[in-house]
Chains A and B, each alone.
Chain A
């Protein structure tokens, strides 16, 4: 199954993400984020981070999850290549992500993403497939 597709937005970049389960949907959203930022196939999986994210509903959980990954990327210079969302409750998410420290190799970065927006944000289940739309500010 395709993890995500890019959608065109005049000012920004958006994604439609898919998943058989809600945790898979969230994992694939993390993958999509870093697939836009870098060539994800080249990210080495040398470190692991456990994350706990909170939010008032699943939409905010999704934004907070992606924003956390973005923050770790920018402030701690991390690049992630593997995303495993272990559990999602109403207002909480547990995940394990793997990746590496980005050293001075700026060429590894394709696109800078400023933020994860709420604009046109949606999470829905159609038949047996979870779908989400997220617009990034670039």
Chain B
């Protein structure tokens, strides 16, 4: 156990309070069960919850979801909302991989149908979708002019280029395009980094996972989503690639100066920020929207190639495959949203860093098809264990600015994961469990071994018991492409 003791109060079995003290402007609230809370205290992530609580204009609480772990600036799993007039926007509250996110696709295919083709399916996906370190498409290099259109219009641009259908857009957060994106604010460096990487998976924890519905917890909601037992699903996890990293990098430089200019005292330089209503704040939001849109376009293009790979492998047409989008959510984003604070409607800038939006039924930003059930929430596990589909709730809207967890969350550092997997063949271990994996390098698999992550079931059960999401279905992996 870390020597450092935090002043933590238990609220109930799934929530913990770090009471306001010193420079904190609000309390910290962490969602976790007792066992997880012990682990959480071992690293610096609670200090990061405390640091965030001291940023000007923070409203409500400095929140952390149960997949919280040590990040830089904000913790990963951190959520914080800032008053539009008094508050700040911080690139460190969004992260380098802007709009890293996840989408879930359903198909008209069943487990028994694809079982014989699994090996060729995983190979075709791996060939068709560039993945891994420095991945780029050789067949697709955008002109800067075209890239700027993608930055402005996101997934809508991808659809206009023939990647998927207009119907897909209905099922993407913000319909696949965050308004106010201004490509003229994107540096030449960021544009250059982005030019050859659109439509690529990248590396690290990014993946494409073909799986099946292994369990249904809520028949009614599952029916609305179109999920049925043994139906084949596909999860895509990736973000804005080098373009997003560069936008973050560029604006951290801007914000370090801005923090000084506006006399904002920082507990960590990575929390550098500017008032939302300042030129630097507005420019960051407009640039961040570009990177977010790039990520939406990226996942949309990858979806197109997934459809292609399925059709080619299974010798079927689009009508047989029926691969459609259930939903696409952002993990790393800051957005202007309307919430109720002390009974009053308020415009807030909600930062979610490694967290998912979880809007309730009947919210105007929940797609029409899901108005009765709430916005889908997709929680990928690790490549060896299950993933979950949930929906947002009223309680999430009230308590967490409509937010919930985003994944399992790491428990091991990459070094520790590599040491743990030494002498083991992770691909073979997964194959023995019936999961085929393709990765760019063996090191990727070693770093991403299932034990490197928290048990996603524990994370998901925590958000369900706390009432900020409702469990709908469980998915189990069949084959995985690792970046």
Contacts and interface: CB of A to CB of B under 8 A. Distances in A.
B193 A74 contact: yes
B96 A114 contact: yes
B451 to A, nearest CB: 14
Of the candidates A6, A64, A111, A118, the one having the most CB atoms from chain B within 10 angstroms of its own CB is A118
B410 A10 contact: yes
B77 to A, nearest CB: 10
Interface in B168-207: 189, 192-193, 202-204
Interface centre among A67, A119, A121 (most CB of B within 10 A): A119
A6 B418 CA distance: 13
B192 A119 contact: no
A112 B202 contact: yes
Contacts, number: 100
B133 interface: yes
Given A75-B193, A112-B203, A11 B69 contact: yes
A115 B443 CA distance: 19
B475 interface: no
Interface in A112-132: 112, 114-121
A106 B339 CA distance: 47
Contacts of B272: 118
A138 interface: yes
B242 interface: yes
Contact of A119 (B72, B412, B413): B72
Contact of B410 (A11, A59, A60, A137): A11
Interface residues of B, number: 43
Contacts of A59: 269
A1 interface: no
Interface stretch (B56-64, B156-164, B248-256, B378-386): B248-256
Nearest to B45: A10
A113 to B, nearest CB: 9
A137 B76 contact: no
Nearest to A137: B96
Interface string A65-109: 001000100110100000000000000000000000000001101
B443 A119 contact: no
Contact of A118 (B72, B410, B413, B440): B72
B283 interface: no
Contact of B269 (A64, A116, A121): A121
A52 to B, nearest CB: 16
B193 A118 contact: no
B268 A115 contact: no
Nearest to B48: A119
Given A11-B410, A107-B441, A114 B256 contact: no
Contact of B257 (A56, A116, A119): A56
A60 to B, nearest CB: 7
Interface in B126-168: 132-134
Nearest to A77: B134
B413 A8 contact: yes
Interface in B364-418: 410-416
A2 B242 CA distance: 31
Contacts of A116: 249
Contacts of A74: 134, 193, 242
B189 A75 contact: yes
A12 to B, nearest CB: 7
Given A11-B76, A118-B270, A111 B43 contact: no
Interface in B35-81: 43, 69-73, 76
A110 interface: yes
6 contacts: A12-B72, A60-B256, A71-B193, A114-B97, A114-B242, A115-B249
Interface of A: 6, 8-13, 56, 59-60, 64, 67, 71, 74-75, 77, 106-107, 109-112, 114-121, 135, 137-138
Given A56-B256, A74-B242, A115-B248, 12 more contacts: A9-B413, A10-B69, A11-B410, A74-B193, A75-B193, A75-B242, A112-B133, A112-B202, A115-B249, A117-B72, A118-B252, A119-B269
In the A-B complex, list the 6 residue pairs whose CB atoms are closest, starting with the nearest.
A119-B72, A8-B413, A118-B269, A112-B133, A119-B270, A112-B203
